[in-house]
Amino acid sequence: MNIVIGADHAGFSYKEELKNYLADKQFNISDKGTFSEDSVDYPDFAHQVASEVSGNKSSIGILICGSANGVAITANRHKGIRAAVCWTNEIASLARKHNNANIICIPARFVSFEEAKTMTDVFIDTTFEQGRHQKRVEKIEC
């Protein structure tokens, strides 16, 4: 599975750790930055991740910033993207099961790295239930 990952300065350390964790699990990782803790603008990285997922170059995207809101708002501007802010395993699971989310947005300032790692595993391992949720997902795009 191809996974694309990106973060701003607040999410940089989590991105680096998560990237290595997923590579050890044999996932193909595309890192869109940032590449240091220097202050940057989150949309620059969220757009790159969303473009790769919407272009089917990666199956799943991971975005990390302080609150996860900025990257989620930015990513959701792209056609075909359903980016979900997740802060618990249950939210990560429901985002996939009910909303067919394809990008997980992690709030680095509000969850531990262990929580981020576990949520990412849940997000990757959970599949869309379809059924009654399919027609709802079809109504999302304008």
Q: What pLDDT does residue 131 have?
A: 85
Q: Which residues contact 28 (CB under 8 A, 6 or more apart)?
A: 1, 2, 3
Centre a 10 Å sphere on the Cβ of residue 101 and count the other Cβ atoms it contains: 26
pTM above 0.85, yes or no: yes
User: How many domains are there within the chain?
Assistant: 1
How confident is the model over 44-94, as pLDDT tens digits? 999 999 999 999 998 999 999 999 999 999 999 999 999 999 999 999 999
- Report the CATH number at residue 70: 3.40.1400.10
The CA distances from residue 99 to 22, 41, 49, 92, 131, in Å, are 23, 27, 19, 10, 11
Residue 28's domain comprises: 2-138
Residues forming the active site: 65, 98
Q: What is the pLDDT of residue 102?
A: 98
Residue 141 has pLDDT above 90, yes or no: no
The two tokens of residue 120 are 């990412």
Q: What is the mean pLDDT of residues 29-50?
A: 98
